[in-house]
Amino acid sequence: MPLNSIKNILVVGAGAVGGYFGARLALAGAEVTFIARGGRLSAMQKGGLVLKRTDSAGGQREDRLKVFAAEKPDGKYDLIIISVKSMDTAAAAAIASGHLEEGGAVVSLQNGVENVDIIAENFPKESVIGGVVRSALSNDGFNTVSYISYPSVIIGAAFEEGRRHEAELKTLFTLAGIQILITDNIRAKQWEKLIWNIAFNPLSALTFATCGEMVKSERLSLIMRAVAEEAVQAALLCGVNLRKGAAQKALELDPAFNDFKTSTLQDVERNRKPEIEAIMLPVVRWAKEGKISAPFTECLYELLQFRHERWYHTFPRLAADVLAVNGDKLLLIERKHPPHGWAIPGGMVDYGESVESAAVREFFEETGIKKGERDITLLGVYSEPSRDKRGHTVSVVYYTFTDEAPIAADDAKSACYFPIDNLPPLVFDHKKVIEDYLAKTDGRRPDGR
């Protein structure tokens, strides 16, 4: 099915959101130019874009496409999509200014409630369209966008003069296979999204917790509910009367988002400045002016400002594991906590503790078998960032020999020996670890026998 009259599209900001929607439009036949910089620009120019979807059963589908990526726009475009972080909106609008065809549209696919007004300083009001993206999108490298459920979008004219664009944009996105809804009150939808963001994003950046972990925590849920209620009061002061129960509805998490890390947490893990101001300042400003009481939001804002205005670095977590061999059997533990399954005994290195000391300590705590540091031999270091879905964890793995009977304890639900040629399903990358051990030792015991 051919696209409508919108054929020439500029995407300013080729992160997860811009990359996904721009790629879907390109796959449908539109001519899409992506504006990017640094490593992302180089990766897109060399390797194009990859959309990677993981379904509920763990299966994956990839769409790969060549794209045109540049540092600056050149020419005129029927549609400009701005999908940068909110702190970069003014700069992005300035870059794109002068490149919109007469009668064209500019769509903001961003967090925050103030971006459309910033964009309108560079473009005619009748061209400015607001958007709200509903998705669990993340960047997996510079040119790969990962997602679980198919992202959808709500759009609506930011100013009454822009209504004429809505139907054509709906047709365009629909032809590209994107679920889209039109709203006559995009400001309210943006505030509803901000309420979700302000409830989840700040706390996730401080706790390093997934959305599901926060909702399941009674203590965090109370804080999230309070922050959401404060945002509802701020929306009222901005003339946006939200639906009853908007704060509570924000905490009703779709199960597909249980393991999702918020965009703010993703930024923190990648040592990028998180999008704090756009999410929190619309509430904090009213509180500082004494118009509303927002102690929870103000407290979280000051904590995040303290952390992110200082030098900081988010390091991978460090773990130590011990693979125990008993003849032609291996000792494995069944994990008590998520991710559930069978694994090599091990755990996190404590601050001030050597890796070797942590290895023998964790091995003893989980199996009841005592070993000294001289009894373990280094196998290797495993550092692939995606090896642990909870976060980047580097494991230093050792191996040893024992014929003692294990007693499961600490984080181990059970512990027992398995024949090397009949192992249960393993979590993390522990199957590869065992394969490396067998290749390195040719099946020999660590004592040389």
For the chain, the first-to-last Cα distance in angstroms comes to 68
Contacts of 415 (CB under 8 A, 6+ apart): 331, 332, 333, 334, 345, 366, 367, 368, 406, 407, 408
Predicted pLDDT of residue 4: 65
Say whether pLDDT at 326 is over 70.
yes
Using a 10 angstrom Cβ sphere, with 0-12 exposed, 13-18 middle and 19 or more buried, the burial of residue 56 is exposed
Predicted pLDDT of residue 115: 95
Predicted pLDDT of residue 1: 35
Averaged pLDDT score across all residues of the chain: 91
Give the tokens for residue 157. Answer: 């004219």
Percent of the chain with pLDDT over 90: 75
Question: Tokens 């549609």 — which residue?
Answer: 79
Rounded-to-integer distance, Cα 179 and Cα 197, Å? 21
Overall average pLDDT of the 164-168 stretch: 94
Say whether pLDDT at 443 is over 80.
no
Using a 10 angstrom Cβ sphere, with 0-12 exposed, 13-18 middle and 19 or more buried, the burial of residue 326 is middle
The answer to whether residues 164 and 171 touch, using CB atoms and an 8 Å cutoff, is: no
Overall average pLDDT of the 393-402 stretch: 96
The answer to whether residues 341 and 353 touch, using CB atoms and an 8 Å cutoff, is: no
Predicted pLDDT of residue 243: 84
Predicted pLDDT of residue 444: 57
Confidence grade of residue 312 (pLDDT, cut at 50, 70, 90): low
Q: Which CATH superfamily is domain 191-308 in?
A: N-(1-d-carboxylethyl)-l-norvaline Dehydrogenase; domain 2 (1.10.1040.10)
Q: Which CATH architecture has domain 317-441?
A: Alpha-Beta Complex (3.90)
**Please, what sign has the CA dihedral across residues 18, 21, 26, 27?**
positive
Q: Which CATH architecture has domain 8-184?
A: 3-Layer(aba) Sandwich (3.40)
Rounded-to-integer distance, Cα 174 and Cα 196, Å? 26
Say whether pLDDT at 447 is over 80.
no
DSSP element (H, E) containing 232? helix 218-237
Extents of the domains making up the chain: 8-184, 191-308, 317-441
For residue 184, give the 3-state DSSP assignment. Answer: coil
Say whether pLDDT at 255 is over 80.
yes
Say whether pLDDT at 130 is over 70.
yes
Overall average pLDDT of the 217-233 stretch: 96
| Whole-prediction pTM | 0.73
Rounded-to-integer distance, Cα 437 and Cα 445, Å? 10
Say whether pLDDT at 440 is over 70.
yes
Overall average pLDDT of the 436-442 stretch: 90
Per-residue pLDDT of 62-87, as tens digits, reads 889 999 999 999 999 999 999 999 98
**CA-wise closest residue to 288 among 230, 229, 204, 221:** 230
Overall average pLDDT of the 309-317 stretch: 71
Per-residue pLDDT of 26-59, as tens digits, reads 999 999 999 998 889 999 999 999 999 887 666 7
